[in-house]
């Protein structure tokens, strides 16, 4: 297991952690300012969201690389199914390809897939997972061509209804098995999977298909399942054990901090949040 | 699979559905009035919460039986571990035994176990599940002696931090295997397990150890994970498929409706709630 106590070059920022998607949060920092703040602190990687790149993806990617910060991923595909997805399958497929193209443009090697929830007129996850498998299979050749890998991210079962019919690492790997293409893998996010008693077995099964590893924490008394994620060390997830499993499976890349936190971290000065993130990464991860 | 279209005698009410634990909800109905309302509608079973029986358990149980309503269960043990549990192990064990005694007194054959969340000073579920196993094993002889069975209820992973380190049917059965006593089994609650891709396999594994089957629904756009459960048919859970699996495993007893719903059902007239419950049971379950 890697020792991060004196080296946080494997630490990456997902810009959501600075409140990217809340008006006025993140003190209105531009992508370039966020990159510079990461570079100053020796944070080695960054993950943007599509909306932040609006027409400037190549320039932002170049700025990051010149600053010594790797763009390691892009968030995310459109919802592929469920109540939050577009109704028109063609529109979903088009937007999926645009997301892949944008990842290539900013220089991100990985695009995260969030599946969306239960398809209208169906019950349970089964039918929705079939639709997801079809839509991902359709997009995989485009991703391969663009040099972008797709990371299926199982979300916590609390999102099962509307945001993700894919709720366990096992099912994400089953889906990968069904498509069987090197351009497709999984992302392991502690917030979403920490509770899963089957996790270490599935991480071992995943092996080299782990394309992303996300850090945060689950607050025991979480008050809002969307915007109340914890900073590493403040919750009950066994972060070290999960990281040990992920590394034993062969993952030696970045650890990406992604914290949605409307009432705590998004209210803090982004510079402070970055400082705390570095300190926690070194001490509790 | 049983046909409930013209027969709802297997329907049971968990009194939580009428807002038992909210000041002023349930229009202040007494346990006897709830029993009478069930009897009038041909609802065959009832499950009380401990607080409702305060000193009158035997009389309330007798009233139910005289009215033709079976008392099929009692909610619930104290939290056995985690931030909401008492600190003192002896106090927990004593209260566990009092809950068993109360179940016997009201004539309930089953007492539900809710485990509680992650133990202080630990991370992840592992240590907490060990503590739960010890505390359940301790209580089992007392339950056997009292003629009460104990039903481990896995709760939805969203409660993993504070309310239940037991979040899957698989883990509940693993725990049963470890103790191996006929007085211990599991309760399957649709709200908690609907998302689980491993569920049908685990239900089949459970077989005769299924001591309770709870109906409700998962609302796709659920707003509060504690008090926003849906009435059967209003959500995305595949209720029929889960009931089919439970019955195929050998369960032929009551289907208990347990809906915590501060903003919808607890605001309605309890008589209406019971009427809707019967209608939904006949048409969508």
B10 vs B45: CA distance, rounded Å: 7
Tokens found for residue B25:
């909800």
With respect to residue B212, please indicate whether it lies within any of the assigned structural domains. Answer: yes
Residues making up chain A, counted from first to last:
285
For residue B178, the model assigns a pLDDT of 98
On whether any CB of chain A is under 8 Å from the CB of B116, the answer is no
**B170-186 burial: b if 16+ Cβ within 10 Å, else e:** bbbbbbbeeeeeebbbb
Contact yes or no for A197 and B118 at CB 8 A: no
Q: Who has greater pLDDT, A226 or A9?
A: A9
With respect to residue A3, please indicate whether it lies within any of the assigned structural domains. Answer: no
Element (H, E) at B104: helix B89-106
For residue A225, give the nearest of B225, B235, B238 by CB distance.
B225
Contact yes or no for B237 and A124 at CB 8 A: yes
Mutant choice from B121, B157, B285 vs A, greatest count of A C-beta within 10 A: B157
Q: What is the ipTM of this complex?
A: 0.95
For residue B197, give the nearest of A117, A161, A168 by CB distance.
A168
Where residue A104 falls among pLDDT bands split at 50, 70, 90? very high
Nearest to A188 by CA among A246, A126, A236, A250: A246
Q: Which residue has the tokens 């908690």?
A: B192
On whether any CB of chain B is under 8 Å from the CB of A157, the answer is yes
Where residue A54 falls among pLDDT bands split at 50, 70, 90? confident
**Phi and psi dihedrals of B233, rounded to 5?**
100, -20
A234 vs A231: CA distance, rounded Å: 6
Structural domains in chain A (count): 1
Report the DSSP beta bridge partners of residue A110.
A149
Distance from CA of B201 to the nearest CA of A (A): 14
With respect to residue A4, please indicate whether it lies within any of the assigned structural domains. Answer: no
- Close Cβ partners of A41 (under 8 Å, ≥ 6 residues apart): A274, A275, A278
List chain B residues with pLDDT less than 70.
20-27
A130 vs A126: CA distance, rounded Å: 7
Minimum CA–CA partner of B193 in chain A: A157
Distance from CA of A280 to the nearest CA of B (A): 16
For residue A27, the model assigns a pLDDT of 56
Contact yes or no for A195 and B221 at CB 8 A: no
Average pLDDT over chain A, rounded to an integer: 96
For residue B236, give the nearest of A161, A196, A238 by CB distance.
A161
Nearest to A114 by CA among A142, A76, A85: A76
Nearest to B242 by CA among B283, B190, B165, B176: B190
B249 vs A183: CA distance, rounded Å: 41
Element (H, E) at A241: helix A239-248
**Phi and psi dihedrals of B136, rounded to 5?**
-70, -45
User: Which pLDDT tens digit goes with each residue over A116-159?
Assistant: 999 999 999 999 999 999 999 999 999 999 999 999 999 999 99
Minimum CA–CA partner of A240 in chain B: B123
A231 vs A211: CA distance, rounded Å: 22
Contact yes or no for B158 and A156 at CB 8 A: yes
Contact yes or no for A220 and B117 at CB 8 A: yes
Contact residues on chain A for B82, CB-CB shorter than 8 A: 220
User: Taking a C-beta distance cutoff of 8 angstroms, is the pair B137, B81 a contact?
Assistant: no
A96 vs A74: CA distance, rounded Å: 12
E strand map for chain B: 11-14, 45-49, 70-75, 110-113, 149-152, 184-189, 210-215, 255-257
Distance from CA of A118 to the nearest CA of B (A): 7
A91 vs A135: CA distance, rounded Å: 12
With respect to residue B74, please indicate whether it lies within any of the assigned structural domains. Answer: yes
Neighbours of B89 (CB within 10 A): 15
Percent of chain A with pLDDT over 70: 97
With respect to residue B126, please indicate whether it lies within any of the assigned structural domains. Answer: yes
For residue B21, the model assigns a pLDDT of 52
On whether any CB of chain A is under 8 Å from the CB of B83, the answer is yes
With respect to residue A185, please indicate whether it lies within any of the assigned structural domains. Answer: yes
Q: Name the A residues in 193-252 with CB < 8 Å from any B CB.
A: 194-198, 218-222, 225, 235-241
Q: Which CATH number belongs to the domain containing residue B206 in this structure? A: 3.20.20.150
3-state secondary structure A62-119: HHHHHCCCEEEEEECCCCCCCCCCCCCHHHHHHHHHHHHHHHHHHCCCEEEECCECCC
Contact yes or no for A161 and B220 at CB 8 A: yes
Tokens found for residue B42:
């041909």
Contact yes or no for B157 and A156 at CB 8 A: yes
On whether any CB of chain B is under 8 Å from the CB of A156, the answer is yes
* Domain interval for residue B159: 11-284
Contact residues on chain A for B161, CB-CB shorter than 8 A: 218-222, 235-236
Minimum CA–CA partner of B240 in chain A: A123
- pLDDT at residue A223 is higher than 70: yes
Where residue A28 falls among pLDDT bands split at 50, 70, 90? confident
User: Which pLDDT tens digit goes with each residue over B33-86?
Assistant: 999 999 999 999 999 999 999 899 999 999 999 999 999 999 999 999 999 999
Mutant choice from A83, A128, A157, A280 vs B, greatest count of B C-beta within 10 A: A157
With respect to residue B227, please indicate whether it lies within any of the assigned structural domains. Answer: yes
Distance from CA of B215 to the nearest CA of A (A): 14
With respect to residue B58, please indicate whether it lies within any of the assigned structural domains. Answer: yes
Contact yes or no for B168 and A197 at CB 8 A: yes
Question: Checking phi first, is residue A27 left (phi over 0); if not, alpha (psi -120 to 50) or beta?
Answer: left
Q: Name the B residues in 124-143 with CB < 8 Å from any A CB.
A: 124-126
């Amino acid at each position: 297991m890697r020792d991060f106590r004196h080296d946080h070059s494997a630490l990456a920022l997902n810009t959501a952690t600075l409140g990217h998607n809340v008006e006025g949060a993140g003190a209105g920092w531009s992508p370039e300012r966020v990159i510079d703040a990461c570079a100053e602190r020796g944070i080695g990687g960054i993950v943007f969201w599509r909306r932040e790149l609006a027409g400037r993806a190549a320039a932002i990617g170049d700025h990051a690389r010149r600053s010594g910060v790797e763009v390691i991923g892009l968030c995310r595909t459109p919802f592929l199914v469920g109540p939050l997805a577009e109704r028109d399958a063609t529109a979903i497929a088009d937007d999926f390809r645009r997301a892949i193209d944008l990842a290539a443009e900013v220089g991100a090697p990985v695009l995260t897939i969030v599946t969306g929830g239960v398809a209208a007129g169906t019950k349970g996850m089964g039918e929705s997972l079939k639709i997801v498998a079809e839509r991902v299979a359709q997009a995989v050749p485009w991703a391969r061509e663009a040099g972008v890998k797709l990371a299926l991210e199982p979300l916590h079962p609390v999102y099962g209804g509307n945001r993700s019919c894919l709720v366990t690492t096992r099912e994400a790997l089953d889906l990968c098995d069904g498509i069987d293409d090197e351009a497709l893998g999984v992302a392991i996010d502690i917030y979403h999977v920490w509770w899963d008693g089957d996790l270490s077995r599935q991480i071992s099964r995943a092996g080299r298909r782990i394309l992303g590893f996300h850090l945060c924490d689950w607050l025991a008394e979480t008050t809002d399942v969307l915007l109340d994620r914890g900073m590493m060390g403040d919750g009950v997830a066994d972060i070290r054990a999960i990281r040990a499993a992920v590394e034993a499976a062969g993952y030696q890349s970045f650890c990406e901090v992604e914290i949605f936190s409307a009432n705590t971290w998004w209210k803090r000065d982004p510079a402070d949040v970055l400082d705390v993130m570095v300190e926690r990464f070194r001490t509790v991860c």
